[in-house]
Amino acid sequence: MRKIFVFATSIMLCLGVLGFTGNFNSTSLTSTVSAAQNAELDFTIVNKTGYDIKALYIGATGTGDWTKDDEVLHGKTFKNGAALKIEFHPKAKAAKWDIMVAWADGSGNEEWEGLNLTQIEKLTLVYDENKDVTSAVIE
């Protein structure tokens, strides 16, 4: 079972995720929006963990428990090696956001807290098998 690696502070997705577009391709997407222009909090997340993800939650930091409204995959699997463009316009305003993933193999969840999505264009999830740690790398 993978250990939880907390990056910054835990990431909870906003309860008001209004829009989402997913590109479930096996190659990484390149974002052309600079951090200063990223007012809508859009970013690309890449799964390089070696494992498929069955649920991906994004919510405002400090909002409490994860809800169904925070989940952005809507029943799709986020395959290892895939990149996903997250586009959303939350009702809630927050300086920091949390992200949680649930693994398709049922081995638990990983969370990253306190991410400043206005400064993140690409977030890559990686798993170090030797250390049994999953990390979120900001690129």
What band does 63 get if pLDDT is binned at 50, 70 and 90? confident
Q: How many CA atoms lie within 13 A of 122 on its CB side?
A: 14
For residue 97, give the nearest of 86, 83, 108, 85 by alpha carbon: 86
Average pLDDT of the residues of the chain? 76
The domain locations on the chain are: 38-138
Is the overall model pTM greater than 0.75, yes or no? no
Interstrand relation of 122-128 and 97-103 (parallel, antiparallel or unpaired):
unpaired
State the Cα–Cα distance between residues 117 and 55, nearest whole angstrom.
19
Task: Report pLDDT digits (tens) over 73-132.
Answer: 999 999 999 999 998 777 677 889 999 999 999 999 999 999 999 899 999 999 999 999
Q: Which pLDDT does position 123 carry in this prediction?
A: 97
For residue 49, give the nearest of 97, 119, 109 by alpha carbon: 109
- The CATH superfamily of 38-138 is Domain of unknown function DUF5300 (2.60.40.2890)
**C-alpha distances in Å from residue 97, one per residue of 13, 52, 127:** 6, 22, 21
